[in-house]
Structure 1
Amino acid sequence: MNVLAAGGLKESTLAMLLLDIGVVLLAGAALGRLAQRLRQPAVVGEIAAGILLGPSILGLLPGNLTERLFPAEVRPLLSAVAQVGLILFMFVVGWEFEKRLIRPHAGLAAGVSLSSIATAFGLGVALAPFLYPDHATVAGKEISFIAFATFLGTAMSVTAFPVLARILTENRLLETRVGTLSLASAAIDDLLAWCLLAYVSALVTSGGDYTDLAWIGLLSVGFVALMFLVVKPLVARLVWRWAAAERWPALVAVLCAGALGSAVLTTWIGIHAIFGAFLFGFVMPREPARVLAEHLRKPMDNVSVVLLPVFFIVTGLGVNLGALSGKDYVALALIVTVACAGKLIGAIVPARIAGLSWRESRDLGLLMNTRGLTELIILNAAVSLGVLDERMFTMLVIMALVTTAMAGPLLSRRSAAETPKTSQASKTPPQTPQVSESAADFITPRT
């Protein structure tokens, strides 16, 4: 009791925090499992669990249960736990970004990715003037139209790589041309999405002052150079030496500290913390692959299993369907329509030009339209930057949920019919083992 008081944390607050984390883990596991039974990624169920525990469902019942279960003094602590989990997850995402996945389809993957991003981004920016007047003020502070429009375009442009990999596995599409092409395109898409988010972060942080924006840009370039020229060789030497000596606990601790330190540095620069964690993971060595997967990635995945559901629940707690008016539901319909149109058109057109069939092109468009966890990360970053109000955040989370949930059911009818033909046509193993091995490496992160 005295120790807790000296640390500034009441024993009752700590007890409530521990209770909330327990509730979060149980709710996330239960609804995540239910989602998988319905042929959906676990992230769909975990987001739904957050919405269920939030003001949209539980909060409507008598007794103000959401506020009693998640009191105001505990929510910042939950958010802090969620952010730690998110930073470490972004480190793993950067680490698992595999260039070998892109090489076999580099030209077409780049075309599909750039086209889908450009189309979705352009449609998002075009939609912004209709939404901005009702969402121009956040917490009493007016946000610039440029920041709002740029962020909305970025939110429309996202494809969630981990969720996409899980959908491909469950629909037996991982070894198909559409599967490998969509993974390569999504890998490029994710990388560009983080760059766009870094730009939006710098834009908001600078307050529209081009001198500050230029300074943030200069510091960001210096940070990237530091990571590649200094940190990358140092980390490579450290990993090889400590792996040879089997100093795994110390290595995991140092790498986690490095990810957190990089996140702090990018926050100081003026871009979001997740960019620093991602880049630190990106410069990590990939070899020796099997040893690192066994002794480093598995512990990191276990951390994600515990901490990421907290992130999903905290996100769901910010969703308030009751705050939406009739006009907002019209806006929500427009947002979902524009989001789907941007990705579908942007992916289908280059795929058809490259010679893919209509069916393959449609599948590719549906897969590129999957947003999932990546979208939630960007939305939470926008909230922390003060770009989104509660209503817009709610609408965009629902959009992410809808676009993620729609891919599996629409793909399953086609893949079930096509996959047996592929297996009958060739009894030999796939001829692209390098791509499939790399793709399989991405399946382990939480989706």
Structure 2
Amino acid sequence: MSSLAQHSELVIAIVMADIAIVLLVGAVLGRLVRHLRQPMVIGEILAGIALGPSLLGLLPGNPTERIFPAEARPYLTAIAQVGLLIFMFGIGWEFDKRLLKGRRRAAGAISISSIALAFALGAGLATLLYSRHDTVNGHHISFTAFALFMGAAMSITAFPVLARMLTEHRMMGTRVGALALASAAVDDVLAWCILALTAAIVTAGDAHGDMLQIAALSVIYLAVMALVVRPLLAWVTRRLVRDRVPPLYVIVLVAGLFLSSYATTWIGIHAIFGAFAFGFITPREPFAVLADGIKRPFDGISLVLLPVFFIVTGLNVDISAISGRGVLELAGIILVACAGKIVGAAIPGKLTGMPWREAGTLGLLMNTRGLTELIILHVGVSLGVLDGQMFTMMVLMALVTTALAAPLLPNRPVTPDELADRRLTRPSQTQPA
């Protein structure tokens, strides 16, 4: 065997070991933060940061560079991208119009208000930060691109984390919980559309012809997805899916997912939008069969691959590089992020008839960003909009806004009916928290 082949095999072996380390550290920290009433994603994000230059890299000999050498990182990035696309497919598939039943006007008002205020404050903050972060990897970025991205990054609410948090705090059946989930569902769709538009503008740069081409191709893509792919998927589902999901159907969905991601990348609006759109148009009926045969296995794949995304993120986060001025910028970013979503959701919540306490809880829930924010920041880095220090500060903002919600949520007592249900269902609840 040649030395080159031996080196390649060694790099692949290192990648496998890296994935094992990331999974174990993420699982340990995820369990630890659960005792602090935090979602597991907080522990997984912390694991990625701890294994990067912010903590492990500070030790003598820089263990981060040894454990995650430069040769292994492209492989880790590719694996993380697969996990990310499968996760985005799940977000699109989970969007349920029934969440909006009876809440369309309230959810629409809350979502639009929180996005508009967060976007405006984020774009306003960009005017103060731009002069220190206008160059990325030696390339000057336009103020328009920077401001649009800051506004879009401030606008997101993490629907999956929010749903999990509502379940853990027994708030899914409450008025504020149901309204928060419906608003977050609308919020996600609107925020992804804003981000897709931002990505198209950044990709086109100052070339108006390129922008028009991206816009035209995007319209064609959406038309094909809605008028051709969606009916075709519905027909395939009716033909192949009965009381179980056959392997051929899984292959069709996975192939469609990656082809859709390729199409949006080729257009110029990033692969994650293709994955989200494909999940959005994929049939959900028969729901029980598809949830068991598609959604649950895809969630299992994400459970293994997404922690790799956290380490890829963590390797680009260097908290020690934040200067004194950077601390002030970080405080401003967190303040603006919280004000935009909390105030933007609480005020329309109050106007819909909620007491201030419930309206405040609604704002806290809508301020949850989690993994979804990291995905947006990943897009910002790939588009060349965020420098290393700004990326680090935005990741810390995502961590703080997600961690802030759980300790401040009211403790709702368990009702006798819920206690009885818990006793009856406890033996079958075997899936991990």
Fold conserved between structures, TM > 0.5: yes
Residue deviations 1:367-392, cap 9 Å, x none? 00000011010000110111101000
Change over 3 Å in CA distance of 1:157–1:247 after alignment to 2: closer
**Where in structure 2 are the equivalents of 1:11-410 lying within 5 Å?**
11-244=9-242, 246=244, 248-410=246-408
Cα distance in 2 for partners of 1:33, 1:236 equals 40
Residues 1:405 and 1:124: Cα distance change in structure 2 (over 3 Å): same
Alpha carbons of structure 1 residues 214 and 326: separation in structure 2 relative to 1, 3 Å: same
SS at match of 1:355: coil
Residue 312 of structure 1 aligns with an amino acid whose one-letter code is: F
User: Retained in 2: the 8 A contact 1:182–1:367?
Assistant: yes
Q: Does structure 1 retain, via aligned residues, the 8 Å contact 2:245–2:290? A: no
Query: Shift of residue 246 of structure 1?
Result: 4.5
Deviations 1:122-149 (A, max 9, x none): 0011111110011000000001100000
Aligned residue type for 1:112: I
C-alpha distance in 1, partners of 2:432/2:146? 30
Q: Return the offset for 1:208.
A: 2.4
Counterpart contact for 1:116–1:343, Cα < 8 Å: yes
Is the partner of 1:244 in helix, strand or coil?
A: coil
Counterpart amino acid of residue 332 in structure 1 = L
SS in 2 for 1:415: coil
User: Partners in 2 of 1:4 and 1:239 — Cα distance?
Assistant: 46
TM-superposed CA distance for 1:322, in Å, is 1.2
Contact residue 206 and residue 213 of structure 1 kept, 8 A: yes
Distance, in Å, in 2 between the alignment partners of 1:214 and 1:446 is 47
Q: Is the 8 A contact 1:348 1:365 kept in 2?
A: yes
What is the root-mean-square deviation in Å for CA atoms of aligned residues? 2.2
Pick closer, same or farther for the CA change 1:428–1:247 going to 2, 3 Å: closer
Fraction of identical pairs, as percent? 58
Give the deviation of 1:316 after TM superposition: 1.4
Unaligned runs of 5+ in 1: 430-444
Q: In the alignment, which of 411, 418, 427 is matched to residue 415 of structure 1?
A: 411
Counterparts of 2:254 and 2:79, CA distance in 1: 15
Read off the aligned partner of 2:166 and give its amino acid letter: L
The CA distance in 2 between the partners of 1:3 and 1:96, in whole Å, is 48
The separation in 2 between residues aligned to 1:104 and 1:317, in whole angstroms, is 45
- Going from structure 1 to structure 2, the CA distance change for 1:246 and 1:278 (only over 3 Å counts) comes to same
Q: Secondary structure at the match of 1:123?
A: helix
- Alignment-mate amino acid for residue 322 of structure 1: S
Structure-2 separation of matches of 1:311 and 1:150: 24
Change (3 A) 1:154 1:15: same
Give TM-score scaled by structure 2 length.
0.94
Q: For 1:45-70, what per-residue CA distance to the aligned partner results, in whole angstroms no more than 9, with x for missing partners?
A: 00000110000000110011000010
Superposed CA deviations along residues 329-364 of structure 1, whole A, max 9, x for unmatched, are: 100000000000111110111111111001100000
**What amino acid is the match of 2:24?**
L
Report the CA distance shift for 1:35/1:427 in structure 2 as closer, same or farther (over 3 A): closer
Moved over 3 A (4+): 1-5, 423-429
Pair 446,238 (structure 1): closer, same or farther in 2 beyond 3 Å: farther
Partner AA of 1:67 in structure 2 = E
Question: Are the aligned partners of 1:173 and 1:415 in contact in 2 as well (CA < 8 Å)?
Answer: no
TM-score between both structures, scaled by the size of structure 1: 0.91
Aligned AA (1:378): I
8 Å contact kept, 1:202–1:213: yes
What's the offset of the Cα at 1:77?
0.9
Bigger shift: residues 249-258 or 265-274? 249-258
> How far apart, CA to CA, are the structure 2 residues paired with 1:239 and 1:208?
44
